[in-house]
Amino acid sequence: MELYGERGYEQTTVTEIAKRAGLTERTFFRHYADKREVLFAGSALLQERLVGGLAGAPPATPPMDAVAEALQAAAAVFDERHEQARRRQRIIMANPELQERELVKLASLAAAMAEALRARGVGEPAASLAAEAGIAVFKVAFERWIDTLGVRGLGEFVLEGLAGLESLMAGGRP
């Protein structure tokens, strides 16, 4: 992250990353497929939190309420990493290739959540709609959160986003 911030993503090499981390290139490639994956290494943990949050919701929980619980479970991971998340986002926003990879990650998270909702007995298109709406709320909440000083937790922004979505769906303005 430091190198990307200092030199820019495109100008930073795997050799430089490995050296800064005190590793060999070979060791780097045991952990990451390429330098891009350094920025997306937490995706599996995020997916675990989201899917686990859905699975942990009581069986009778309506789909969007289960999604809300999953988003809150995922948000809790970020609060201790506010500055790191800000740096990561700046790097991603400065590079179209990384922006594309971020969108792929979000689509994968939505697909995993939809699958978890289907496993709970939610039919289509409700499972996909709830998952996609949840990821949209999370994305907007995350962007709002990283633009703050970290005084409020990401979960608060998620709740505001969910309330705003509910208001929009009811025909109001958030």
pLDDT for position 174: 59
Plot region of 15 (φ>0 → left; ψ -120 to 50 → alpha; else → beta): alpha
The burial of 139, by beta-carbon neighbours within 10 Å (0-12 exposed, 13-18 middle, 19 or more buried), is given as: middle
pLDDT for position 63: 96
- What is the residue-averaged pLDDT of the chain? 92
pLDDT in tens, 46-99: 999 999 999 999 999 999 999 999 999 999 888 888 988 999 999 999 999 999
Q: Cα–Cα distance between 38 and 44 in angstroms, integer?
A: 13
The burial of 127, by beta-carbon neighbours within 10 Å (0-12 exposed, 13-18 middle, 19 or more buried), is given as: buried
Q: Cα–Cα distance between 123 and 142 in angstroms, integer?
A: 28
The DSSP-derived string for 95-125 is -HHHHHHHHHHHHHHHHHHHHHHHHTT--TT
CA distance to 11, 14, 40, 74, 95, per residue, from 28 (Å) = 18, 8, 14, 27, 22
Predicted confidence (pLDDT) at residue 150 exceeds the cutoff of 90: no
Measure the CA angle with vertex 69, ends 156 and 168; round to 5°.
65
Amino acid at residue number 159: L
pLDDT in tens, 14-28: 999 899 888 899 998
